[in-house]
A and B are shown apart, each in its own frame.
Chain A
């Protein structure tokens, strides 16, 4: 008999009926309300085992540990669920890519809001197959900044006088048109995402959006802010990166020297917020939450 893998051992071979198999599996991976006794392995190790990235011996050892650790069994199950969802997501993308037939595209049915520009691979667009004459610019809503440009290019392409232009000219128009469309889409999407970001339950938490390169370090271990007319003092809240309040300090001028032990308590990066208070301690204005990094 060949040793080649067959279908997973299911149904008859394991001697279990469907209901029993389901029941045992549900029980084996169910959350449990007993304290964990065994030492928990790093979550990343579980992920790697489930995704076949771990050494076979290590995988076997982890699986053996799972037998006596219901918590680990639950965590493994979650990783397996992630793997399944991820695969489904990838398959869905691949299927979407394969289904696109430019001749069947009905521009009236295109919902620009659902287009993910990040997934468009410009290199794969075949300019020769784009029929500029079929672009209905009236249906392209890319915002006031670009619609005029798109309209101009599309009309130039559909104008009978321009149809007699050389293939080279037509190709140039095609490229320009595509570029305008891409720019329009990008602008449209940017416009869509520039609204207020609702994140966590703090209205000022939007301040946290950033990429690392944008977080420039402070020039000195002090914070400064714009003075507010009528403010007698300022209350500054210093938070850790995870929004844990670490300090609340008062300043009479729009500047605060950071405490000597602040770096140890706050970590390398932190957040801060300032409130301007009047003579009676009433709140005049509160700033958003700002991020900061220590001087290098």
Chain B
């Protein structure tokens, strides 16, 4: 619909009332990325996240005059927007915590996990973090990256260390985590 057809239209210059094909394509790409990446607990905010990512890209484009970048750039915009949403949600939840029982707050975990696995992950998650956090400095980042799913070769590349060194530190670090968990009553 053109703005001329609108019964109430601006007399001032606001040409942007009709979406362009570029903007629609951008939004479509952002939405596809967001739908695939979105953690379950952010699902109700999906539209807002897409919108915010769109605005971010738009602002950068307006500032730099550059065209919208690669697919990777769009995914990055979606990711950073999601993280900011998660953090804002966390702050809201923290405000809520002051008023209500902490244990009554349900934090969604990945949909693919069974309820038992979710409960288990929540139960031992803090213990694992506590154990990894108490590892010697050299082992700590390596074990953390490994528990994220990175392989030893990739870890070596990421932190600029020799593979053999990473392997040794990892082996010892994991053994230490296992002992630490046992000490906390968590059997691997």
* Residue positions of A touching B, CB distance < 8 A: 1, 3-10, 13-16, 20, 23-36, 40, 43-44, 46-47, 49, 52, 56-57, 59-64, 66-71, 73-82, 85-86, 89-90, 118, 189-190, 193, 197, 199-201, 206-212, 214-219, 222-226, 228, 241-242, 254-255, 274, 276, 285-288, 290-292
Contacts and interface: CB of A to CB of B under 8 A. Distances in A.
B128 A7 contact: no
Interface in B122-162: 122-129, 132-133, 135, 137, 140-154, 156-162
Contacts, number: 304
B188 A67 contact: no
A210 B158 contact: no
Given A193-B21, A225-B8, A288-B17, A68 B129 contact: yes
Contact of B76 (A10, A13, A47, A286): A47
B121 interface: yes
A225 B144 contact: no
Interface size class of B (residues with CB under 8 A): 35 or more
A219 B163 contact: no
Contacts of B159: 56-57, 59-60, 63
Contacts of A223: 10, 12
Given A224-B12, A274-B8, A206 B19 contact: yes
A219 B11 contact: no
A226 B8 CA distance: 6
Nearest to A17: B188
B33 to A, nearest CB: 8
Contacts of A56: 158-161
Nearest to B167: A9
Contacts of A118: 25
A223 B121 CA distance: 55
Given A16-B188, A32-B122, A216 B15 contact: yes
B120 A209 contact: no
B127 to A, nearest CB: 8
A69 B130 CA distance: 9
Residue among A9, A33, A49, A223 with max Cβ neighbours from chain B (10 Å): A9
A8 B153 contact: yes
A73 to B, nearest CB: 7
Contacts of A8: 150-154
B12 to A, nearest CB: 5
Interface string B156-188: 111111111011001100110110000000001
Query: Nearest 6 CB-CB pairs, A to B?
Result: A8-B151, A209-B19, A56-B160, A5-B153, A63-B141, A210-B16
B10 A24 contact: no
A187 B79 CA distance: 33
B119 to A, nearest CB: 10
Nearest to B122: A30
Contacts of A15: 171, 174-175, 178
B132 A67 contact: yes
B125 A32 contact: yes
Contacts of B17: 207, 288, 290-291
B6 interface: yes
Contact of B15 (A27, A71, A214): A214
Nearest to A274: B8
Residue among B16, B48, B122, B137 with max Cβ neighbours from chain A (10 Å): B16
A190 B21 contact: yes
Residue among A67, A85, A225, A287 with max Cβ neighbours from chain B (10 Å): A67
A5 B144 contact: no
B182 to A, nearest CB: 12
Contacts of A36: 87, 90, 94
